[in-house]
């Protein structure tokens, strides 16, 4: 499934986009969690391939990654399971560059493509270092989503939006992933700045933890990514049902948000 | 004192051969670009260089001497010279780098620094510079290291720094770097990350090497004086991230001296419990740089193991990876046990108690005298720090001395 065209068509139909994050390999039921969140209204799902040293992740996803690694999760293992998840929504992997480089650019891109993975997010591979992976991913039809940050200057923001595939991932605060009590003041501006320079779907992520925050963030963008708040529920023993209930609450909140004018 | 001219810049986005680069989260990229520009302009600015040189001289106590080790030389059948970074203010080479970065922090208008630390030497040096410049300071330190380096933790607090124990992963230097980077992502607009080794994303490996090259530049001139316009046959330094070694090598890379980096052999390279990233690592991308890392077949970073917190790191700076690839420098290892013996050897023969990190360099030279180092060779060893911080740990390991 093409990530960008799927998200565009949902957006153009008037929906706010919702992309939950699930740590791959976190418990035996993790692929059931992916199915459940799609049933509950996710427009795409981000699957984390756990890495030993996740520098863009806060405590919750660090802990989930470590637990998944302790349970024996491997990059190829997670991707292979994704091939068996038959859902009417695109799947995107989120991981760190060392795992991609260790597999090799071409081999990694082709394996993702063969397993039906539509996109990839590699937060420690910024625009300037993208070439080798970016070319391999393009050739294999894997859409590489780039991150834009509150610190990104205007001209660079334009280049990032131009080079990003699938959607643009606007980092909604100064910091790493994790739940926050309030939506950061940067979120609205991040959404508006990205929207001003691209027609691609713009999703805000990092620190969006509650239905209220999701709705608030989505007011300035096309949608949101919610990770730690969902993963914490899984760490606390929740399974597909709890995940679905939380995602449904996000969906309801987003559906009551008016579209960007 | 007068600084030697700047050394060569890496190519492009901080490339040392195939190593280096700037693999950082987007939030940090603009700050890294700014830091690169500020450092480049400062490093060619005579006023900045003069202020840095004056601090090195009046505050850090440079130049440090080169000491000829007569008794140790006699025992090993070599001519051994020590570059005495242990005699700097704060007791290790780390001060050279932090004074430069503190000046840059002020130049960038930032009022706060954060740092990672392993043995605590870089943390103490950063806290010292922060006190000197009136900057806020937070140091991230693995919880295991907080335990084994209690004296340095106390010193940092005395100097006004906040010390944050890091519990994640192996709770050592690698995890302290992770946590410092995460903290920087959250505070980059007001805060400079005072990275302590010649590693990390561009421009750190280049900038830290330039701030440490004073070690090698001084030693080069001092050796010429002592040796009658000759260079040492072998130049040896310990390598964790590799800043004292890269600074030392910078002064000798254009000579015919053999350059030797000594890594942490831990419980032996075959045991799997060591910190020898050059000898046993493979190329990867971690902590913002492409370099050599101890990692498993999937690319998960392995825990390093070393008696010395400062060498307990599963990677190495990218310039070392390049020097190893081109063969200009060679890398060997000394085990925990050998380092302990080296620690005692230097104390007993020369009255100098080394830190456990350079004790690895001493140990390798002692082991290889007459073997990999031909008898009669002249050997310069950088004594990167003093052993006070390790006294309690070593006392516990060795028990009562007879």
- Inter-chain CB proximity B295 and A160 less than 8 Å: no
Over pLDDT 90: what percentage of chain B? 92
Q: Which residue has the tokens 């929740």?
A: A238
Q: Which of B169-183, B286-300, B384-398 has maximum average pLDDT?
A: B286-300
Record: contact B185-A153, CB cut-off 8 A? no
Contact A53 B187 (CB under 8 A): no
The CA dihedral of B151, B154, B156, B157, to the nearest 10 degrees, is 180
Tell me whether residues A146 and B286 touch, CB distance under 8 A.
Answer: no
Q: How far apart (Å, rounded) are the C-alpha atoms in residues B287 and B120? A: 19
Segment B205-230, tens digit of pLDDT = 999 999 999 999 999 999 999 999 99
Query: How many CB atoms lie under 10 A from the CB of residue B54?
Result: 11
To 10 degrees, what angle do helices B94-107 and B121-133 make?
40
The 10s digit of each residue's pLDDT in B105-153 is 999 999 999 999 988 999 999 999 999 999 999 999 999 899 878 889 9
Model confidence band, residue A31 (pLDDT cutoffs 50, 70, 90): very high
Q: What is the pLDDT of residues A170-208, one digit of tens each?
A: 999 999 999 999 999 999 999 999 999 999 999 999 999
Full 3-state SS string of B192-228: EECCCCCCCCCCHHHHHHHHHHHHHHHHHHHHHHHCC
Reduced to 3 states (helix: H, G, I; strand: E, B; else coil), residue B144 is helix
Q: For the residues B362-372, what does the mean pLDDT come to?
A: 98
pLDDT for the residue B402: 59
- The encoded tokens of residue B133 equal 């410049």
pLDDT at B233 over 80: yes
Strand partners, B11: B15
Asked if B168 has any chain A CB less than 8 Å from its own CB, the reply is yes
Q: What are phi and psi of B53, to 5 degrees?
A: -60, -40
In chain B, positions 268-327, which contact chain A (CB-CB < 8 Å)?
Answer: 283-288, 293, 295, 297-301
Q: Which residues, listed in sequence order, are joined to residue A202 by a DSSP beta bridge?
A: A168
Per-residue pLDDT of B12-46, as tens digits, reads 999 999 999 999 999 999 999 999 999 999 999 99
Q: Which whole number is the average pLDDT over A2-21?
A: 98
pLDDT > 70 in chain B, percent: 99
Q: Mutate which of B20, B22, B23 to test chain A, going by most A C-beta atoms within 10 A?
A: B23
Nearest CA among B184, B186, B202, B185 for reference residue B194: B184
The whole-number pLDDT of residue A23 equals 98
Residue A93 · residue A112 · CB < 8 Å:
yes
What is the SS3 assignment for A219? coil
- Model-level pTM? 0.97
B66-91+213-397: same fold as B15-58+93-204?
yes
- The pLDDT-based confidence of B169 (bands split at 50, 70, 90) is confident
Interchain contact, A126 vs B31, CB within 8 Å: no
- 8-state DSSP, A88: S
pLDDT value, residue A258: 65
Mean pLDDT calculated for residue range B347-374: 98
Residue A261 confidence (pLDDT) above 50: no
Q: Which residues of A touch B140 (CB under 8 A)?
A: none
With beta carbons under 8 A apart, name residues in chain A contacting B23. Answer: 97, 124-126, 129
pLDDT the model gives residue A259: 57
Fold of domain B15-58+93-204: Rossmann fold (3.40.50)
Instruction: Compute the mean pLDDT over every residue in chain A, rounded to the nearest whole number.
Output: 97
Quick one: average pLDDT of A154-162? 98
Residue numbers in B near A62 (CB within 8 A): 168
Architecture per CATH, B66-91+213-397? 3-Layer(aba) Sandwich (3.40)
Tell me whether residue B93 is one of the annotated catalytic residues: yes
Token digits for B372? 């990999």
Mean pLDDT of the region A80-89: 98
Task: Give the up-direction half-sphere exposure of residue B121: CA atoms within 13 A in the CB hemisphere.
Answer: 33
- pLDDT > 70? residue B376: yes
Is the CB of A101 less than 8 angstroms away from the CB of B299?
yes
Q: In angstroms, rounded to a whole number, what is the distance separating the alpha carbons of residues A86 and A204? A: 26
Q: Where exactly are the structural domains of chain B? A: 15-58+93-204, 66-91+213-397
Chain B residues whose CB is inside 8 A of the A128 CB are 13, 22, 29
Question: In chain B, whose CA is at the least distance from the CA of A125?
Answer: B23
Average pLDDT over residues B52-59: 98
Q: What's the average model confidence in pLDDT over B390-400?
A: 87
Nearest in space to B199 (alpha carbons), one of B189, B191, B209, B190: B209
Is A160 near chain B, with CB under 8 Å? yes
CB contact under 8 A, B30 and A146: no
How far is residue A39 from each of residues A9, A78, B81, B279, measured CA to CA in Å?
18, 21, 71, 50
> What is B336-378 written as a DSSP string?
HHHHHHHHHHHHHHHS--B-HHHHHHHHHHHHHBTTTB-TT-E
Model pLDDT, residue B399 = 83
Q: Using CA atoms, how far apart are residues B252 and B329, in angstroms rounded to an integer?
A: 11
**pLDDT at residue B373 greater than cutoff 50:** yes
- Helix spans in B227-329 (H): 243-250, 277-280, 318-326
């Amino acid at each position: 499934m093409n990530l960008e065209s799927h998200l565009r068509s949902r957006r153009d139909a008037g929906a706010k986009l919702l992309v939950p994050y699930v740590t791959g390999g976190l418990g035996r039921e993790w692929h059931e969690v992916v199915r459940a969140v799609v049933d509950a209204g996710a427009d795409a799902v981000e699957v984390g391939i756990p890495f030993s040293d996740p520098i863009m992740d806060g405590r919750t996803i660090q802990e989930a990654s470590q637990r998944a690694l302790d349970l024996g999760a491997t990059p190829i293992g997670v991707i292979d399971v994704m091939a068996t998840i038959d859902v009417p929504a695109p799947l995107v992997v989120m991981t760190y560059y060392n795992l991609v480089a260790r597999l090799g650019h071409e081999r990694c891109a082709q394996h993702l493509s063969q397993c039906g993975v539509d996109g990839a997010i590699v937060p420690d591979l910024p625009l300037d270092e993208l070439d080798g992976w970016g070319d391999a991913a393009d050739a294999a039809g894997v859409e590489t989503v780039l991150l834009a940050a509150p610190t990104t200057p205007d001209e660079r923001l334009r280049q990032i939006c131009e080079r990003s595939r699938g959607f643009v991932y606007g980092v909604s605060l100064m910091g790493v992933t994790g739940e926050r009590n309030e939506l950061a003041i940067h979120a609205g501006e991040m959404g508006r700045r990205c929207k001003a320079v691209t027609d691609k779907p713009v999703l805000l992520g990092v620190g969006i933890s509650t239905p209220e925050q999701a709705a608030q963030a989505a007011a300035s963008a096309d949608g949101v990514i919610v990770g730690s708040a969902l993963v914490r529920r899984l760490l606390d023993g929740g399974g597909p049902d709890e995940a679905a209930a939380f995602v449904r609450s996000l969906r309801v909140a987003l559906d009551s948000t008016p579209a960007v004018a | 004192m007068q600084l030697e001219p700047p050394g060569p810049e890496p190519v492009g986005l901080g490339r040392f051969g195939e190593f280096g680069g700037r693999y950082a989260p987007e939030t940090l990229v603009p700050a890294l670009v700014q830091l690169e520009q500020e450092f480049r302009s400062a490093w060619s600015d005579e006023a900045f260089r003069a202020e840095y040189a004056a601090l090195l001289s009046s505050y850090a106590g440079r130049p440090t001497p080169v000491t000829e080790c007569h008794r140790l030389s006699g025992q090993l059948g070599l001519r051994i010279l020590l570059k005495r970074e242990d005699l700097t203010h704060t007791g290790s080479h780390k001060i050279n780098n932090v004074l430069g970065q503190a000046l840059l922090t002020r130049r960038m208008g930032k009022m706060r620094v954060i740092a990672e630390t392993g043995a605590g030497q870089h943390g103490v040096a950063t806290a010292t510079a922060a006190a000197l410049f009136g900057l806020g300071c937070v140091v991230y330190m693995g919880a295991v290291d907080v335990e084994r380096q209690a004296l340095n933790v106390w010193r940092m607090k005395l100097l006004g720094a906040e010390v944050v124990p890091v519990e994640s992963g192996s709770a050592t230097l690698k995890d302290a770097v992770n946590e410092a980077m995460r903290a920087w992502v959250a505070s980059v607009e007001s805060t400079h990350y005072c990275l302590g080794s010649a590693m990390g994303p561009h421009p750190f490996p280049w900038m830290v090497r330039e701030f440490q090259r004073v070690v090698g530049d001084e030693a080069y001139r001092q050796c010429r004086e002592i040796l009658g316009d000759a260079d040492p046959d072998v130049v040896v330094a310990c390598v964790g991230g590799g800043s004292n070694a890269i600074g030392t090598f910078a002064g000798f890379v254009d000579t015919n001296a053999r350059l030797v980096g000594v890594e942490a052999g831990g419980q032996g390279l075959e045991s799997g419990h060591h910190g020898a990233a050059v000898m046993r690592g493979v190329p990867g991308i971690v902590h913002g740089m492409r370099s050599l890392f101890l990692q498993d077949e999937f690319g998960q970073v392995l825990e390093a193991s070393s008696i010395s917190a400062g060498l307990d790191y599963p990677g190495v700076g990218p310039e070392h990876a390049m020097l190893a690839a081109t063969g200009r420098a060679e890398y060997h290892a000394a085990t925990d046990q050998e380092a302990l013996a080296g620690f005692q050897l230097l104390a007993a023969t020369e009255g100098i108690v080394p830190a456990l990190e350079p004790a690895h360099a001493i140990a390798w030279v002692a082991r290889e005298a007459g073997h990999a180092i031909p008898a009669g060779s002249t050997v310069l060893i950088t004594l990167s720090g003093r052993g006070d911080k390790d006294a309690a740990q070593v006392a516990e390991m060795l028990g009562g001395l007879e």
